Amino acid sequence: MNSKYIFSGKQKITTSFVTGDYIWLAFYGVSNICSLYESSVFNPNLIYWNLNVTADEIKSIVEDASYLYLALDDTTNIGGKVTKASPAIAYFIKNIGIIEEAIDIIEDATYVYFLTPGLGSGVNTKIAKYNKTTRAFVEIIDLTTVTNAAKIDIDNSGNLWVQSDLDGTPKITKVWFSGTWQFSTTTLS
């Protein structure tokens, strides 16, 4: 897309998200400021909104009826909550137990879940759970034996699914709550 459409002075596109007739384009940050454009899906050069986001990179975007939720690579903020009708951003502050960036995000009716990869030395994959309305930190779901995570999803039963080791022997981890958080990893062949 970046070769067909000209976005003057912008870095590479890090993620995009289509909703209806609109496409949200996230550009790599310069001096810890990313641009987030809401454009026409038919002509991305037609820009309706341009929002500055404090982060080095916007890694992933999901939505509900009123908001976009962003997974961020930033030292202070793990994510952002963007009002779609008149774009403005509020941030989810990174909990002290999270040292890596958020690489993916999912949401349900009450919470957003940020996935950290578990790539750092001695670090494993973690899921940071936040309240959608208040942006308050709720808890860390520590996947103690999972590393190199790449994606997260949620099913209709509220189970979380984490994909990892996609460059080698892929694994999928089911995460569910039964009094405490439980998880089970299956190696895919």
pLDDT digits over 147-187, tens only? 999 999 999 999 999 999 988 899 999 999 999 999 999 99
**pLDDT for 5:** 63
Lowest mean pLDDT among 3-12, 14-23, 166-175: 3-12
Residue 113's Cβ-count burial label (10 Å; 0-12, 13-18, 19+) is: buried
Q: d(Cα 159, Cα 157) in Å, to the nearest integer? A: 6
**pLDDT for 128:** 98
* Res. 189 pLDDT band, cuts 50 70 90: confident
Q: Which residue has the higher pLDDT, 152 or 189?
A: 152
Residue 16's Cβ-count burial label (10 Å; 0-12, 13-18, 19+) is: middle
Q: d(Cα 117, Cα 4) in Å, to the nearest integer? A: 32
**Mean pLDDT computed over 7-21:** 86
**pLDDT for 3:** 52
Distances (CA, A) of 79 to 89, 115, 186, 189: 10, 11, 29, 33
Residue matched to tokens 């080791």: 165
pLDDT at 2 over 50: no
| DSSP label at residue 95 | P
CB burial of 117-133 (b: ≥16 within 10 Å; e: otherwise) equals: bbeeeeebbbbbbbebe
- CATH numbers and ranges of domains, the chain: 13-187 (2.120.10.30)
